Amino acid sequence: MFDVLAIGEMLIDFTPSARGVGLADVPAFEKKPGGAPANVAVGVAKLGGNAAFLGKFAKDPFADFLIGTLEQYGVDTVGCARTEQAKTGLAFIALGDNGEHEFHFYRDPSADMLLSEEDIREEWIQNARIVHVGSVTQVLPKAAAATRKALELARKHGVVTSFDVNFRLGIWRGREEEGKQKIFDTIGLTDVLKVSESEMAFLTGTSDVEQGAKMLKDMGPKIVFVTLGGQGVYYITDKHRRRVPTFRVQQVDVTGAGDGFVAGFLRQLADRIQGRGLDYSLSMHEEIEEMTRYGAAVGALTVSKVGAIPALPTKEEVFQFMYRGAKRNPLRIPTHGE
């Protein structure tokens, strides 16, 4: 039984040797494994969970490196199919002085975008507590259909579904409205939805967090998270809504911050839904807040280091950070108007 089965893209992140300059001026790059769903799978595994990854990989050395990375961290790779029809996707990243990033992708298409319905095995979905997906792989129709099939199978077998929008305007390239519609279709099959503040505004047309989160919640999810950077995380369910503050850390690189949050929350949720179900786990305000704080701690630790997968913390590191280091790393509660 998998705690989390993550479906989607895994690619190479080329991180810069210098920060504070644009992509054209970065003197050198370092190869690192990345891709939001893969980050979540590794994050869950590093937190002590049983994670698996399902995706399409090229038959090239970069793909060997990526699959080897999953295996290194204990992620089950039974769902990793290979193809000769495309190469591994590449993402070049520039980092600003504040840790914000700029991306440039090479994937026209990349192997992950060739995921098909034939790659989705019902028994893998049935043997998961949570199925997690993103939007990046859904640019091509076959991959979008594969994602939908996975979510529909999850619904059929009572498996919790999770969706991190992770919308990249540069990938859709003038097809933003089409991408938005695909996201809406996916939200309709989602139990746990996570968006950034900018993604919420793009999808709903409002920058008001409470209003935007409710609009997304009305599309079907049981819980919606809006990540607010240094201002924490806002969540809404049928019964509860609250903003949970973040932890105070020195921000180095925001790459993978949202993936860390998702991995932390899903790791906690997988433990709680055993024998109790999602509705029960989301019925108590204290439990939601505890799971959200844990996810926030994982995200905070992730931004304190460079890279995504290498920066994701272990279960022991999160424990030290949240409890033994509580005085050194207090919750950061934003001031009025911040």
Which phi and psi angles does 149 have, rounded to 5°? -60, -45
* Vertex 38: Cα angle to 143 and 17 (nearest 5): 115
**Alpha carbon of residue 121 to chain centroid:** 22
Question: How does residue 290 score in pLDDT terms, banded at 50, 70 and 90?
Answer: very high
For residues 246 and 230, the answer to whether their CB atoms sit within 8 Å is yes
Which phi and psi angles does 140 have, rounded to 5°? -95, 150
Question: How does residue 99 score in pLDDT terms, banded at 50, 70 and 90?
Answer: low
- As a whole number of angstroms, the distance between CA 55 and CA 10 comes to 8
Domains of the chain: 2-6+36-79+117-332 (3.40.1190.20)
Residue 331, pLDDT score: 52
Residue 277, pLDDT score: 87
- Please say if the pLDDT value at position 161 is more than 60: yes
DSSP 211: H
- As a whole number of angstroms, the distance between CA 185 and CA 183 comes to 5
Mean pLDDT of the chain: 90
Least confident of 12-16, 168-172, 316-320: 168-172
Residue 338, pLDDT score: 28
Residue 170, pLDDT score: 65
For residues 30 and 56, the answer to whether their CB atoms sit within 8 Å is no
Residues 111-144 have pLDDT tens digits of 999 999 999 999 999 999 999 999 888 888 999 9
For residues 3 and 266, the answer to whether their CB atoms sit within 8 Å is yes
The count of other CB atoms within 10 Å of the CB of residue 132 is 30
Which phi and psi angles does 241 have, rounded to 5°? -155, 140
- Please say if the pLDDT value at position 333 is more than 70: no
Question: How does residue 172 score in pLDDT terms, banded at 50, 70 and 90?
Answer: confident
**Alpha carbon of residue 261 to chain centroid:** 8
What's the pTM? 0.92
Mean pLDDT across the stretch 35-39?
A: 95
Top mean pLDDT of 52-56, 170-174, 273-277 is at: 52-56
For residues 219 and 321, the answer to whether their CB atoms sit within 8 Å is no
Helix extents (H) in 218-284: 257-273, 278-281
Residue 298, pLDDT score: 96
Which H or E element spans position 160? strand 160-164
- As a whole number of angstroms, the distance between CA 135 and CA 166 comes to 6
Closest-CA residue to 170 (of 277, 226, 91): 91
Query: Tokens 């932390």 map to which residue?
Result: 264
Cis before 313? omega within 30? no
Least confident of 181-185, 305-309, 330-334: 330-334
Query: Mind spelling out the 3-state secondary structure of 57-126?
Result: EECCHHHHHHHHHHHHCCCEEEEEEEECCCCCCEEEEEECCCCCEEEEEECCCCHHHHCCHHHCCHHHHH
With a CB cutoff of 8 Å and minimum separation 6, the contacts of 314 are 46, 47
Closest-CA residue to 42 (of 233, 240, 266): 266
Residue 337, pLDDT score: 30
For residues 74 and 3, the answer to whether their CB atoms sit within 8 Å is no
Closest-CA residue to 51 (of 8, 122, 3, 123): 3
